[in-house]
Chain A
């Protein structure tokens, strides 16, 4: 019904101005000018525009060179030495990391939202930390922890397990580090899903004699399937694209993955955009199939609509004698994925250079690196710009994607599949290519945003649209249509319904997406580096510069400061989010 080009019909005069057709024209005009139509059309147009600009650039760059149409990029990209190993390594790494992150993230979310597990306050802020630590620091922290040569864990456990028990430079080490780094995405998605789930279904199962595990397997998991599918989809694509972990851990033992190749083809001159594009289009294919499957898993079914007109109040399940076990598991998770790497960073940030802990090392500790941070000329500007961009991106994305999610899940529009697929496209476009595409367009566009923060905002909104969309769609699929129908029957307009009924019900998912985007936009580097201008630096650029300078210990200090800043921000966001969303207790 709705369409992206609302102008044409209004200007066409009716051929025969009879009474009924006039009223039809008037109805059409009313429909076209209704807020609902306008908003939907605008959101659809914006998503299309944001996704198609870089996609067009990528496709054009992949198939056309000076001589015209060519498949050269594909043959160069997919005929390299050892492409078979490359594909199997990439897939094992991606699927392994996604699976690990899924298990950890879902388990934690379930315990946190649905049970009376101990240490809850600790949970939220702390579970965000792997997400906040820049990938390069997180990975190097793990080298210091689990390298067979210098790893602290290996040294500590050597008397029990023998030398070099943990080896981070294997595919399993890579999966562990990447999975740990990704698990917060799943955690956030799943927290939202569990929050919106009516626990009476589980209670019925328990009352009918099912064990807790059976209930979880047969009732809980099927109910949150849309969220699980979304999480798997995002994580597989993300780990296929991940760069730091394969570059720092895989290469040492010659484990090559896709992104190592994208790196090689993009750094050459003249840039081999065609090969990079061919690899990215391979990822796009995976993603398109994934979105399709995800929709089949979540759409046209009322099975997942757990938020209905019936009131419910999520009540935590009492774990009973399992409570200490769950508590211990959580403590272990934190020790391993949060505390250990963070301690290594904190330790490194107080040294002049990294060395194994010893009395001498502790004696040499200073706060010089932190002092150096305050001397960085652009630190203040960068922090301010990152805050503006992070908050702006998170707000814009979640607002638009909540409307887009409504179109995709609720409307009967034929455009809905297209919008869903388009919103996912940016996930597979390498950041550098996005940067190239945007500078290409806005250097030639009459809109003077090249060289301003606004071009970075567009880049960030484009990059994080897919995540926002998954968060919003997943939540939308859980909300029953009958709530909107009731509102409309009671005389509310579409916009009133959306604002007063849908948005509050979506709140857990929207807050989760908001926080995720806020955090990751602090880290965005690959498109920012090409698009920023003097005076418009962002934090990730400073991180990159400290890294290039060889100031690893200063970088660690910067990482610690970022973690603290974002923990505060995330806590505030949750406090605000708790006010609008469903109460968890």
Chain B
């Protein structure tokens, strides 16, 4: 149990490649923090610096109040789950889980009871004598988790632990991980490129891009109030629609429609952001509305996605699957004015 603080942390692999750029982030004790971003955004590097697997070029990382920059991984009391699981192929499940305890000189009897307990929690009790190659992907993943939890570390680091599982198992394990976090009451730092994992699991989410932290906030806030176009586009599926508009006073004019903004942004040009799920099938005649010419439609059972054009702009809308639409139709949809976003095209920052 510990808090983790990144203070202006920078990692350069060479003069030209900066993996993490001036990252400041403080993670509270027992928090489930998710670092999310596309591959190469520096999220894994940030995690590996905390684990002690990468040197820190500049700045400080603290666990509780202790600066760990120069501390060896073994002294940091963190446990890590790797994307590849990194199980020791020549050791049994039991030995894999016991390894960290053995290295720390834990008495043999204590190792036995700790490993058996972890095995019970993770339903691995019957597999303890097996070798990793005799296990399924999901079982291997649980061994990797078990190896981390037996040690009762201060911080859990998880580097894309679910990405090698199939879709169904991933959802199931996602829920199990959350339960485990509640049960253990330990700080979790979780790296993923999957925004669904980030939204569902994180107490807070840190969105990164090109080594730069974009926004840290709870999932709801990230979704409702993205600070810039990057975060707005990254979180949410399908992606938020971005429509260039010209603005005069309060009126915003896109290529296919215009609407009145709740307040004057003081910009001549803007980019309007509307999430696909924020279109309304029923709306009063004086409300803002768009005229979508449907080009492709996808029915997913619970949802229906319409892909088409409004004026000259591409647009995606999520509508009720009961709505009868065929390709080529023109559908009139209202815009939910409460959920509107406006970005400054120069800085890409949110202004509304």
B is bound to A: no
A interface residues, Cβ below 8 angstroms from B: none
B interface residues, Cβ below 8 angstroms from A: none
